[in-house]
């Protein structure tokens, strides 16, 4: 056994040998840093395919790791004589291989770009940087194309190039596009990394940035990204997150000339209105619909996509169906069928045109810009649906946008105790935009109708039919009603008119002097039938016939009801039931003025027919 002193001597000798070995190793390394410095720009150019220019000589550091720091770096297209940078960075930090540096070679392992700027140009539907004319990466893609072309369905992954790529980090960057000779920022505060050890292995991109004032994060990965770049098919995972929206895709993507996608896609937005504003879409920026969520199996390509097994939730109302999206025309085309358990029709319609007032209470302008942005043909059904205070069941409807026309057709629904059909139409094919509204309710309960519309007073409570047709200029819903033409008709069977005490009305009318209708509203008037016929011209309702019949008396009205100002100019009479009105005097004759909400009654005194004196008796001769 060696003594302790001998052991210490052995350790000291070993340490000395190691120190000498390290010194021997690092002397040529330190000596080669100048060679490395000279070759960095050349190697970066060979790696990227761009012309690389450095604002200053690289700074080489050996400890604690072997790396280079480059300042004011630009990468430009070799074919661009103006040398406009495709990528520029204030600083680039490169991790180098020490072993390669020993023989004067440059091999990158990691690259960090500090405050880079990526300049993109329009390329089809996307903005992309100008592609390099060559470089190691481009040659790897070309070689991979040969492998993919040999067997597109199942390329030999073992035959792919294996050039190293490494990890590229970037921080505090931005993406710009040139407009009118100036750079316009698209994305700012861009940070993230590309992790791709070699071109034949899996790769991943993670990035965060600010786009249109919102923070956005993107994660994109694939086990075979080189196959994608070469026009083949490979699995892809994609996720986008931001406050206005989030989306994911998990499936297969093919980037060949016959490109396609096949996989599961999800999309969520807590507020469709906010999303449309953020995306700067011209389609219904004042939509009141809230949250939207979509989950579907997506198959398709750049021209056509099909969303099967689609689960769509609008404001918490879930539905299922199939959607087809075509991009072959001048504008996108969407067709499909959706079935909902519950559906808010008001919110659904507001996706295409505003139906409510703005924040100041002023009427919204009817937004018809979307007519030029999309072709739409949807078949809708719902077990239950609502439109404001109106509840419906067993709803069938269609929504269509095409060739300057917008049509929403509620073809069938059970509502108001009967059946309901309704529709809305916007027509932009003429010189003036025109809106049409129609409703036909059959065998409904008048009491339910009155409660749903807020017209409980003087609304017959029996069963009946109501038809409404309106047509007017589509500047806004307000101006449409102010200038509408159309008709209103209604007929009801036995029931009663609430809000009218007829004996009190007759007594008060006999006393003379005008009075508010509410003074005689504490009662009901039993009726056997009621009928209304009215025409509408330039926003003025002209009542041709308004009649309520009872066992004892009949009430008759006619006159005008302008929409602007909600005024009343009606005349009315009360007759004994069943009499000949041309020969029998009325029990009461009156004028109705005031407004729709506060009508006033002005009795008209009865004028007794003139008495004709009998002829004198003849005197006999």
Residues 377 and 502 occupy one common structural domain: no
pLDDT band, very low/low/confident/very high, at 432 (cuts 50, 70, 90) = confident
Residues 508 and 388 placed together within one structural domain of the fold: no
Residue 154 lies in a domain: no
Q: What mean pLDDT do residues 368-379 have?
A: 78
Over residues 97-126, the mean pLDDT reads 76
Which tens digits make up the pLDDT trace of 117-155? 999 988 766 788 988 878 888 899 999 999 999 998 889
pLDDT of residue 357: 43
Is 0.85 topped by the overall pTM? Answer: no
Q: Which of 100-109, 180-189, 236-245, 477-486 has the highest mean pLDDT?
A: 236-245
Domain containing 311 equals 259-407
Statement to judge: residues 281 and 388 lie in one domain: yes
Query: Averaged over 202-210, what is the pLDDT?
Result: 96
pLDDT score, position 101: 55
Half-sphere exposure of 369 (CA within 13 A, CB side): 10
- In a domain, residue 558? The reply is yes
Regarding whether 389 and 523 lie in a shared domain, the answer is: no
Peptide bond into 64 cis (omega under 30): yes
HSE-up (13 A, CA, CB side) for residue 139: 12
Instruction: Mark which of 360, 392, 407 sits at the end of a domain.
Output: 407
611 belongs to a structural domain? no
**Measured between alpha carbons, how far is 27 from 12 in angstroms, rounded to an integer?**
22
Asked if residue 505 is part of any domain, the answer here is: yes
DSSP 555-595: EEEEEEEESGGGB-EEEEEEEETT--TTTSPPSEEEEEEEB
Please indicate, yes or no, whether residues 288 and 385 belong to a single structural domain of this protein. Answer: yes
pLDDT value of residue 544: 93
Least confident of 189-203, 210-224, 363-377: 363-377
Q: According to the model, what pLDDT value does residue 2 have?
A: 55
Residues 394 and 503 in one domain: no
Least confident of 298-302, 322-326, 440-444: 298-302
pLDDT band (50, 70, 90) for residue 43 = confident
Binned at pLDDT 50, 70 and 90, residue 179 comes out as confident
Domain for residue 121, yes or no?
Answer: no
CA dihedral 193, 198, 200, 205 (to 10 degrees): 0
Q: Are residues 363 and 264 in the same domain?
A: yes
Alpha-carbon span 40 to 599, nearest angstrom: 90
569-614 confidence digits (pLDDT tens): 999 999 998 888 888 889 999 999 999 889 999 998 865 555 555 5
Q: Taking residues 7-29, what's their average pLDDT?
A: 50
Instruction: Report pLDDT digits (tens) over 71-93.
Output: 999 999 998 888 899 999 999 99
Examine the domain organization and report whether 389 and 503 are in the same domain.
no
* Residue 529 to residue 465: CA distance in whole angstroms: 12
Q: Indicate whether 365 belongs to any domain.
A: yes
Smallest CA-to-CA distance from 227 within 256, 189, 191, 258 is with 256
In a domain, 336, yes or no: yes
Q: How far apart are CA 164 and CA 49, in angstroms?
A: 15
Final residue before a domain boundary, out of 356, 382, 407: 407
Mean pLDDT rounded to a whole number for the chain = 84
**Total structural domains in the chain?**
2
Please compute the mean of the pLDDT values over residues 543-570 and round it to a whole number: 92
Examine residue 177 and state whether it is found in any structural domain, yes or no: no
Average pLDDT over residues 262-287: 78
Domain boundary among the residues 407, 433, 458 is at 407
pLDDT of amino acid 183: 87
């Amino acid at each position: 056994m060696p003594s302790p002193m001998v052991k210490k001597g052995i350790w000291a000798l070993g340490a000395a040998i190691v120190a000498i070995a390290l010194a021997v190793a690092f002397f040529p390394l330190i000596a080669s840093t100048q060679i490395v410095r000279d070759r960095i720009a050349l190697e970066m150019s060979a790696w990227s395919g761009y012309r690389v220019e450095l604002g200053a000589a690289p700074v080489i550091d050996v400890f604690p790791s072997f790396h280079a720091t480059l300042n004011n770096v630009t990468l430009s297209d070799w074919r661009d004589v103006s040398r406009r940078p495709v990528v520029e960075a204030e600083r680039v930090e490169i991790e180098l291989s020490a072993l390669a540096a020993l023989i004067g070679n440059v091999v990158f392992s990691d690259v960090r770009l500090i405050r880079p700027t990526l300049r993109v140009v329009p390329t089809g539907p996307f903005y992309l940087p100008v592609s390099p004319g060559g470089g190691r990466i481009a040659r790897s893609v070309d070689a991979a194309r040969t492998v993919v072309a040999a067997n597109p369905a199942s390329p030999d992954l073992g035959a792919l190039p294996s050039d190293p790529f490494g990890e590229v980090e970037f921080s505090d960057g931005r993406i710009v596009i040139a407009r009118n000779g100036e750079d316009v920022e698209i994305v700012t505060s861009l940070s993230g990394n590309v992790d791709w050890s070699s071109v034949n292995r899996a790769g991943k991109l993670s990035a965060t940035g600010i786009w249109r004032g919102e923070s956005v994060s993107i994660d994109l990965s694939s086990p075979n990204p080189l196959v994608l770049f070469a026009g083949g098919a490979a699995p892809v995972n994609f996720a986008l997150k931001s406050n206005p929206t989030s989306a994911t895709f998990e499936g297969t993507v093919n980037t060949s000339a016959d490109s396609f996608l096949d996989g599961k896609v999800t999309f969520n937005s807590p507020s469709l209105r906010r999303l449309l504003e953020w995306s700067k879409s011209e389609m219904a920026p004042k939509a009141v619909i809230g949250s939207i969520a979509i989950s579907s199996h997506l198959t398709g390509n750049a021209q056509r996509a099909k969303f099967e097994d689609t689960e769509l939730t609008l404001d918490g109302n879930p539905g299922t169906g199939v959607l087809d999206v075509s991009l072959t025309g001048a504008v996108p085309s969407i067709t499909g069928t959706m079935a909902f358990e519950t559906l808010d029709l008001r919110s659904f319609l507001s996706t295409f045109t505003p139906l409510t007032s703005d924040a100041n209470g002023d009427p919204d302008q009817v937004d018809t810009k979307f007519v030029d942005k999309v072709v739409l043909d949807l078949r809708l059904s719902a077990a239950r649906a609502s439109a404001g205070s109106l509840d419906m069941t067993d709803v069938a409807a269609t929504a269509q946008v095409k060739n300057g026309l917008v049509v929403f057709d509620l073809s069938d629904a059970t509502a108001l105790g009967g059946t309901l059909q309704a529709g809305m139409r916007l027509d932009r094919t003429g010189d003036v935009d025109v809106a049409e509204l129609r409703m036909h309710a059959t065998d409904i309960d008048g009491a339910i109708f009155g409660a749903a519309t807020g017209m409980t007073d003087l609304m017959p409570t029996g069963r009946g039919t109501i038809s409404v047709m309106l047509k007017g200029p589509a500047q806004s819903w307000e101006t449409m009603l102010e200038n509408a033409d159309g008709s209103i008709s209604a007929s009801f069977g036995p029931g009663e008119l609430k809000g009218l005490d007829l004996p009190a009305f007759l007594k008060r009318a006999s006393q003379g002097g005008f009075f508010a209708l509410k003074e005689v509203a504490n009662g009901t008037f039993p009726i056997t039938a009621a009928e209304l016929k009215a025409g509408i011209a330039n926003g003025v309702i002209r009542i041709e016939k308004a009649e309520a019949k009872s066992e004892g008396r009949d009430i008759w009205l006619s006159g005008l009801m302008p929409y602007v100002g909600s005024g009343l100019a009606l005349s009315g009479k009360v007759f004994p039931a069943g009499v000949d009105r041309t020969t029998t005097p009325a029990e009461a004759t009156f004028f109705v003025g005031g407004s729709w909400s506060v009508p006033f009654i002005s009795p008209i005194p009865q004028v007794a027919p003139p008495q004709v004196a009998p002829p004198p008796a003849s005197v006999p001769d």
